[in-house]
Amino acid sequence: MKALKRSTSKPDTRVLIRRCEEYDEKAIQDIVRQGMKDLGYEPSGRVFVKPNVVYATKNGKYGSTAFTHPALVGASLRALAGAPQVTRVDMGEKTAIGYPTRLTYRYAGYYDLVRRARKKGGAKIGIFCIDEERRDRVFVGGAVHDTLRLSRRMARADSMVYLPKLKCHCVSSMTGAVKLNIGICSDDERSIRHDFLLNHKITDLLSVGYPDFIVMDAIDVGVGTEAVPSPRRLGLVIMGRNPLAVDLVGARLLGFNLEDVPYLQETVARGYAPGRLKDVTIMGDLKSIADLDRHARRVQPYDDEFYNWHDVEKELKRLQSPIRFHWGYTKPDKSRCMTGCIMAVKMYFAFTERFAGSDAFRKGKPAVLVVGRVDETIDAKGAQVFMLGSCSRAKIVNAKKIIRIDSCTTTAVEMTEVIRGRLGIRTPLYAPSQIGPLAGAMLVASIMKLINLRYFQDIGHFIKRGLLKRI
């Protein structure tokens, strides 16, 4: 078992910000090269690169701002491959739970950009799917994860570079460099405590996923739901060597403070620095917090689009939908679980609206969705009821049928599989244009797991874990 913990005792709190109004790959490459020099990052040996890809579809129907732009990714790969001491650059990612990474790569244009980057010379450039590759078990020692099975190419890399996309998030307010670590987990470990302990999980992962250099795509930022965001032009490339410092800057540019971003609060509480934005050294084309606030006006207004599907009940009323949503509590103190199942609901409805249109919700069938424990009696009025998550409880009367998804946490994919056409609304996952490519990608992913001996490794792991439980 490997120990990958990186020291953060003397964190580099510098954040370099450069204006960049267009996705010009050559211009971004020059920015990244100079940023590496200005911040003293000298990569060598094998470099692991982690972009931000939740989901992508053909022609960008569900939001091209959901993932790090190909121009920024390509520029960063070329800048790294051209560094004199680098021998190899490998880019890896794991997309949303239940969805094959290779299909998302294809739709995001990543395979094409890697082929172009390879022609420019320099170190070898590879691209791989974390969900298909063999893993090394590494020590974490966190509140949620004691150990983690990490991609072998990541675990054995000499340096790590993260390429987050600055965007809003429906439960974490924003996503940036720190939260990017969710994508280093394969589905089996990604789903562990993806609930009210999600922020603890994210902070745990910093011990093995602390990047040496960060290039944040803030040229177009995403507002609304993270998987299908709407773009707003901010026109910035943000670089740094400290993920917390970069995210504090990114948060302010979206109009958030530390207390508005739960995972940043937990990271600071766990002892990571800097603990305040004023402790960050802001360099480049923006030089102060006042500069950040002035530039952040480009993202305003903070309107319904900015908070799209953050409040499910509000959005269903906007759509004049016969669907009713009840969000109860999950903990003894009657507080709500702010992650997991509620995130699945928000993502599912956001995808569905983008795919089927607003009118589909108004014309849909009456239904009741329940997350958490609801104390008051719910009159279903003859509609179907969907109980989402293992902790959902409620007294239901007059229900046509009660359907339960008994898992923690419920995912948007699970909701799609169970709900399908029961609401009278078309769902994207089962559209004819989606089924063929999805099935093909899943088949190829399975073959790659066989070739890479991933299945055999996983079987051995679960057998070993079962034996240890009996001792």
- Residue 110 CB burial class (10 angstroms; 0-12, 13-18, ≥19): buried
Percentage of residues of the chain with pLDDT beyond 70? 95
Give 67-79 pLDDT, tens digit per residue.
999 999 999 999 9
Three-class DSSP category at 370: strand
Secondary structure in 3-state letters for 236-279: EEEEECCHHHHHHHHHHHCCCCHHHCHHHHHHHHCCCCCCCHHH
Q: Distance of CA 54 to CAs 96, 99, 168, 308, 371, Å?
A: 5, 9, 13, 17, 23
Residues in a beta bridge with 50 = 162
What are the phi and psi torsion angles at 124 (to 5°)?
-65, 140
> In this structure, what token pair is assigned to residue 274?
């800097």
Three-class DSSP category at 379: strand
Domain layout of the chain by residue ranges: 14-296, 312-430, 434-470
d(CA 240, CA 246): 6
Average pLDDT estimate for 445-466: 87
pLDDT at res. 4: 61
Any idea what the Cα angle at residue 44 is, between residues 38 and 50, rounded to 5°? 80
pLDDT at res. 8: 45
- Reported as type and span, the H/E element at residue 75 is helix 70-81
Question: What is the CA 467 to chain-centroid distance, rounded?
Answer: 34
d(CA 73, CA 271): 31
Average pLDDT estimate for 338-352: 89
Q: What is the pTM of this model?
A: 0.93
- Yes or no: say if 125 and 77 are a contact pair by the CB < 8 Å rule: yes
Give 115-172 pLDDT, tens digit per residue.
999 998 899 999 999 999 999 999 999 999 999 999 999 999 999 999 999 999 988 9
**Mean pLDDT, all residues of the chain:** 91
Query: What CATH number should be reported for the domain whose range is 14-296?
Result: 3.40.50
